[in-house]
Amino acid sequence: MEPVLRIEQLTHTYSAGTPFCRNAVEGLDLTVYRGEILGIMGHTGSGKSTLIQHLNGLLKPTQGHIYLNGRDIWETPSRIRQVRFQVGLVFQYPEYQLFEETVYRDIAFGPRNMGLDEADIDRRVRQAAAAVGLPEEVLERSPFELSGGQKRRVAIAGVIAMEPEVLVLDEPTAGLDPRGREAILGQIREYHRQRGNTVILVSHSMEEIARNADRIAVLSAARLLMEGTPSEVFARADELMRVGLDVPQVTKVALALQKRGVPVRSDVYTAEELRRQIRALRGGGVC
């Protein structure tokens, strides 16, 4: 697998040199591979948001380096804007950043900053709107008269329209109802399937990460706690729970079954997988 982003010994200190100084991220190593969906988990204050703001150069590492396609992004600080077009970052509650008169113009803000010509901007805006499921007629409306879920789609489209190599989403489903959540996640999966771009999904919902990510990185207290495929990570469910993270309901069921002597594996994280295992145990019968 080819690495697209490589984080090397990243440390970030807030309020350095004052009595309030603290490390939000400490000595973190992580590699993101091209074309994967990487899930980043960790509870509030574990350093997730600080980490992802380093990926597009919004924050400068106190120590350590970020390599994008093998080049240190801070090698030429004047080119940091180019990095921001290559690593698109969607903030938490991105709907609060909307400002334009029409949805179309708001989505076009990023591409326009890239200095593209009108035809290219138009194509990108329409494609990005379609990718997040915004109907054509919404494009001419004011973003402020849309519903909360639609506003969020507009904001995500605004980043997708820059066609970044790596799309980073910080809690894209926070504050949405279950249907809105599933819709947005489905669209992100579909976007990833069609373009094959790298996606980094930050969340504290285990279910969400388990169902969508190829690989998971778990942060705890400013450090990388573990890293691996969902089954590798959820196999260490007890460790996750010890640092105050939740595991998927299905994993909990599997653990409870294990305790009662049912020989299922604890690295399951989907209901289908658990059903398959139980069926196998019962000798292929229907359960």
Angle, helices 249-259/271-281, rounded to nearest 10 degrees: 30
Minimum CB distance to other proteins, residue 216 (Å): 24
Per DSSP bridges, beta strands 87-90 and 166-170 are parallel
Considering only residues 217 through 256, tell me which ones interact with other proteins, judged by CB under 8 A: none
Please state the separation of Cα 215 from the chain's center in Å.
11
Residue 60 engages other proteins in binding (rule: CB under 8 A) = no
3-state secondary structure of 80: helix
Residue 286 CB contacts under 8 Å (≥ 6 apart), including other chains: 279
**CA–CA gap between residue 273 and residue 269 (Å, rounded):** 7
- For residue 165, what are the CA distances in angstroms to 30, 34, 51, 70, 160? 17, 9, 18, 14, 10
3-state secondary structure of 35: coil
Other Cβ atoms within 10 Å of 263 Cβ, number: 8
Stretch that binds other proteins, among 107-115, 173-181, 218-226, 277-285 (CB under 8 A): 107-115
Q: Scanning the structure block, which residue is given the tokens 């279950």?
A: 178
Among 53, 197, 220, 266, binds other proteins (CB under 8 A): 53
Other Cβ atoms within 10 Å of 178 Cβ, number: 8
**Which CB, 158 or 248, lies closer to other proteins?**
158
Stretch that binds other proteins, among 79-87, 203-211, 242-250, 258-266 (CB under 8 A): 79-87
Nearest CA among 6, 4, 7, 39 for reference residue 26? 7
Residues 156-195 as x/- pattern, contact with other proteins by CB under 8 A:
--xx--x---------------------------------
Residues 119-158 as x/- pattern, contact with other proteins by CB under 8 A:
-------------------------x-------------x
Paired tokens of 235: 């196999």
Minimum CB distance to other proteins, residue 69 (Å): 19
Q: Is residue 66 within 8 Å of 211, Cβ to Cβ? A: no
How many chain residues touch other proteins (CB under 8 A)?
Answer: 23
Minimum CB distance to other proteins, residue 240 (Å): 29
**Which CB, 99 or 177, lies closer to other proteins?**
99
Minimum CB distance to other proteins, residue 89 (Å): 4
Residue 81 engages other proteins in binding (rule: CB under 8 A) = yes
Residues 82-101 as x/- pattern, contact with other proteins by CB under 8 A:
--xx--xxxx--x-xxxx--
Minimum CB distance to other proteins, residue 211 (Å): 26
Q: Computed over its alpha carbons, how large is the radius of gyration of the chain?
A: 20
Residues that bind other proteins (CB under 8 A): 53, 56, 58, 81, 84-85, 88-91, 94, 96-99, 109-110, 113-114, 144, 158-159, 162
